[in-house]
Amino acid sequence: MTYEELIERLDPTVYRNLKQAIELGKWPDGRVMTREQREISLEAVIYYEEKHNVPEEQRVGYLDRGEKAGTACDPSVQFRKEKQNNEADPDQFVEVKV
């Protein structure tokens, strides 16, 4: 059985347990996850979410930007360094498309 086949057959309960273990940094029985276990589990969860079309807002690592999208509070916006003063100008921000 290949890695892809294993992830495709992964039970939704196992997926939820892996996702929770990643979030908490420990297994359901309380043992702390090693860095390697966390990396492998995260990779499996991301692959599972892609294969099973999990909605974007339910995926691991999703950030809801809500009303902050496109503002200075949005990490995809960078400050223009053309002006030397520290005053806020609504035109001083530029959105970075990823």
Q: What is the pLDDT of residues 6-23, one digit of tens each?
A: 888 888 999 999 999 999
Helices (H), 1-98: 3-8, 12-24, 35-51
Per the CB < 8 A criterion, the answer to whether 18 and 45 are in contact is yes
Task: Supply the mean pLDDT for the chain.
Answer: 79
Which residue, among 45, 77, 79, has the nearest Cα to 62 in the 3D structure? 45
Report the chain's C-alpha Rg in angstroms: 19
Tens-digit pLDDT profile for residues 37-64: 999 999 999 999 988 888 888 888 887 7
Lowest mean pLDDT among 4-8, 20-24, 27-31, 74-78: 74-78
Can you give the pTM of this predicted structure? 0.62
Closest CA to 15 of 55, 63, 47, 56: 47
